[in-house]
Amino acid sequence: MSATVTTITTTIHRRHVPPCSNIITFPTLNSNLNYTTHRPFCLLSSTRLVDFKPCCSKKPELPELLDSENGNAVLEEEDDIDIGWLPAFPHVLVASMSNFLFGFHIGVMNGPIISIARELGFEGNSILEGLVVSIFIAGAFLGSSGAGYLVDRLGFKRTLQVDTIPLILGALLCAQAHSLDQLLLGRFFVGLGIGANAVLVPIYISEVAPTKYRGSLGSLCSIGICTGIIASLSLGIFSESDPHWWRTMLYIASVTGFVLAFGMQFAVESPRWLCKAGKLNDAKQIISDLWGPSKVEKSIEEFQSVLKNDGGDLESRWSELLDEPHSRVALIGGTLFVLQQFAGINAVLYFSSLTFKEAGITNGALASLCVGLTNFAGAFGALYLVDRQGRQKLIIGSYVGMAISMFLVVYAISFPIDEELRNNLSILGTILYILTYACGAGPVTGVIIPELSSSRTRGKIMSFSFSVHWVCNFLVGLFFLELTEKFGVAPVYGSFGAVSVFAAIFSYYFLVETKGRSLEEIEMSLNPNFAKRD
C-alpha cells in the first residue's frame, strides 16, 4: 500500500495507531512550551492547561483506513485544500466591518484636522484639537464598560445592530457640525459605538468561528482596523484641495454604519449565546451550518456541561470578576492591554511622521500611507501565523521584535553616527516596530482574552480589559509629547523597549496556549469547579 492516500481534492497522510486503540486524544497545552503533546483528554484538577487524566474512551472522529502491510489503522488528515473556514467567513466579515469603522474614525481627523479647525474656529489651539481626539476615547471607555451588560441580555446580533445607532448619529452630527460643541458631541457618540464594538466583535468571532480557524478569523479585526485607516487616509488626500471634504468623509462613515446594521440582520447569532438563552434547536442548526453536522452533538454536550457547572452569563454579575478563576483571567486581560499600550504603539504611530520628515520624506500623506500599509501587512501575517504557530509563541515573538526595534531607534538617536545612516536606522526601526506589533501584540491580545475567559463572564472580562485599554491609550497620548520634551526621545523609546521585554516575559509565564482547543475545553481545564465534580 502506498505511503500516501490521495483523494480528488486533498492529500491524506497516514498516521499509525495501535490496531485496537479506541481512545481519542486531544493536544495538551503547556504554558511554557510552544508545542503540543498528546494525552487522553479529561477535566483537570488544577487551573493550568496541563496534566490531563484519562477518563473517556471514544473512537477517533477522523475516518480510518486499513494499512494492509501491518494491519494498523490509518487516520485521514486533510492538508491541501481546506475551506472549513468558509461557512463562517461571511458572518465574521460583516461583524468586522465595525473594525473598519473603528479604523476609519481614527484616521478621518488626521488629514483634514487643519481644515476642520479653521472652519469651526479653533485653529492653532492644540488643547481643543487634542480634545477632539480625547472625547472619542472617553466615549469608547463608556461604550466598552456597558457592552458586556447589553450582550448578556440581547445577544451579539442585536447588540451589534444597536451599537451602530451612536456610530451613525455621531458621524452625521460631525458631518453637519457648525460649532466645536456639535463636533465634540458627534465624536463622543462615535466613541460609544466604537468602544462597544471593540469588545463585542472579538467575542462574537471567537464564538462563531470553528475551533481550527478561530485565531485566523479573529485576526480580521486588526485587518478591518488597518483597512479603515488606509481608506480614511486615502480619502483624506482630497481634503488638500477641498476644505469641506471632511464632511463628505463623515457622511461616508455614516453610510458604512447603515451597511453594518443591515448586514448583521443576515448574520447568525452566537450558538453559545443561543444555548444559554434556551434556544437549543437554533444553536444546533447554526453549528451544523457553520461547523458541520458531525460537530453538533459534541458541541452541544460541551455547551451544556459548561452551563450546568458554571451557569450562563445571562445572570452573571460584575462582582464575579473578583472570584477565581475569573479574577485571574481579568487580571491577565487588563495587564495585556496595559503592556500593549505602554509599549508605545500609539506614541510611535504619532511620532512616525516626524521620523519620516527628519529622514527627508516631507509628504505627510505618503509617510502615513507607508505606516498604514506596514500595519496592514503585519495583520495579514498574523492571520496566517496565529493558528499555525499559536498565540503564545506569536505574542512573545512580537514583543521581542518590538523591543529590538525600539532599541535600534534609540541607538540611531543616541550614538554619533552618520546622519544618513541614523535616518535610515530610525525609519527601519519604526517600520519593524509597527510590523512586529501588527503580527502579534495587536491582534493576538484581542484573540486570546475571550479564549481564556469563561462562558459566564466572557463579556464582562472583555469589557473590563478594553476599559483598561482606553484609559492607558488616553494616558499615553496625554503625556507622550510632554515626556519627550522633558527627557528626550531616546529615553522614552528606551522605556517602550523595556516594557516590550517585560511583556514578552509576562506572556511566557502567564499565558497558556489555546490553539486548536474549543472554548469549552479551555474553560474546563482552567476552572477548578470541573475537577471537583470529577
- Measured CA to CA in angstroms, residue 361 lies from 19, 158, 366, 408 at distances of 67, 46, 8, 20
Q: What is the pLDDT of residue 461?
A: 94
For 5, phi then psi, to 5°, come to -100, 125
Q: How far apart are the first and last CA of the chain?
A: 44
Instruction: List, for residues 278-302, the tens digit of each pLDDT value.
Output: 899 999 999 999 999 999 999 999 9
Cross-strand pairs, 74:
16, 65
Residue 233 confidence (pLDDT) above 70: yes
Q: Is 165 left (phi over 0), alpha (psi -120 to 50) or beta?
A: alpha
Domain 83-268: homologous superfamily in CATH: MFS general substrate transporter like domains (1.20.1250.20)
- Cα separation, 258 vs 236, in Å, equals 22
Here the cell at position 316 is 452573571
Q: Is the pLDDT of residue 330 over 90?
A: yes
| 375-416 residue pLDDT tens | 999 999 999 999 999 999 999 999 999 999 999 999 998 888
Position with higher pLDDT, 407 vs 73: 407
* Residue with the larger pLDDT of the pair 82 and 51: 82
pLDDT higher than 70, residue 46: no
Highest mean pLDDT: which of 20-34, 133-147, 256-270? 256-270
Q: How far is it, in rounded angstroms, from Cα 334 to Cα 469?
A: 7
3-class secondary structure, 488? coil
Cβ atoms of residues 110 and 233 within 8 Å: yes
**Cα-based distances in Å from 345 to 342, 433, 505, 527, 528:** 8, 8, 18, 34, 36
Helix or strand run (H / E) with residue 375: helix 364-389
Please state, rounded to an integer, the average pLDDT across all residues of the chain. Answer: 82
Return d(Cα 193, Cα 202) in angstroms, integer.
15
Query: What tens digit of pLDDT does each residue of 4-18 get?
Result: 333 333 333 434 444
| Predicted pLDDT of residue 111 | 66
| 158 CB neighbour count, 10 Å cutoff | 15
For residue 13, the SS3 value is: strand
* CA dist., res. 179 & res. 117, Å (int): 10
Unique residue bearing C-alpha cell 505602554: 342
Residues 6+ apart with CB under 8 A from 80: 9, 10, 11
Q: Which of 66, 173, 185 is nearest to 136 (CA)?
A: 185
The confidence score (pLDDT) of residue 80 equals 58
Q: Is 17 helix (H, G, I), strand (E, B) or coil?
A: strand
Domain ranges of the chain: 83-268, 271-314, 321-533
189 and 143 Cβ atoms separated by less than 8 Å: no
Position 311 confidence tier, pLDDT thresholds 50, 70, 90: low
Q: For the chain, what is the largest distance between any 2 Cα atoms, rounded to a whole number of angstroms?
A: 84
Q: What is the mean pLDDT of residues 78-85?
A: 70
CA 307 vs CA 11, 98, 156, 360, 449: distances in Å: 39, 30, 18, 60, 20
Helix/strand/coil (H/E/C) assignment for every residue in 219-266: CHHHHHHHHHHHHHHHHHHHHHCCCCHHHHHHHHHHHHHHHHHHHHCC
How many angstroms separate the CA atoms of 26 and 29, rounded?
A: 9
| DSSP helix/strand/coil, 12 | strand
SS3 344: coil
- CA dist., res. 164 & res. 146, Å (int): 14
Q: Residue 321: how many CB atoms within 10 A of its CB?
A: 19
**Beta-bridge partner residues of 17:** 73
Please say whether the beta carbons of 458 and 203 come within 8 A: yes
**Which residues is 6 bridged to in the sheet?**
11
C-alpha cell at 70: 501491518
- Three-state DSSP class for 517? coil
How large is the angle between the packed helices 458-487 and 180-208, nearest 10 degrees? 130
Where residue 180 falls among pLDDT bands split at 50, 70, 90?
A: very high
CATH of the domain spanning 321-533, picked from 1.50.10.10, 1.10.10.10, 2.30.30.830, 1.20.1250.20: 1.20.1250.20
Q: Which three cell numbers stand for residue 49?
A: 492547561
Domains 83-268 and 321-533 share a fold: yes
- Quickly state the pLDDT bin for 66 (edges 50, 70, 90): very low
CA distances to 322, 356, 457, 477 from 452, rounded to whole Å, are: 16, 39, 10, 29
What is the average per-residue pLDDT within 70-88? 63
How far from chain centre, in Å, is Cα 399? 16
Out of 66-75, 217-226, 236-245, pick the least confident.
Answer: 66-75
Please tell me the predicted confidence (pLDDT) of residue 315. Answer: 67
Between the alpha carbon of residue 494 and those of residues 125, 322, 374, 500, the distances in Å are 30, 35, 22, 10
Cβ atoms of 366 and 497 closer than 8 Å: no
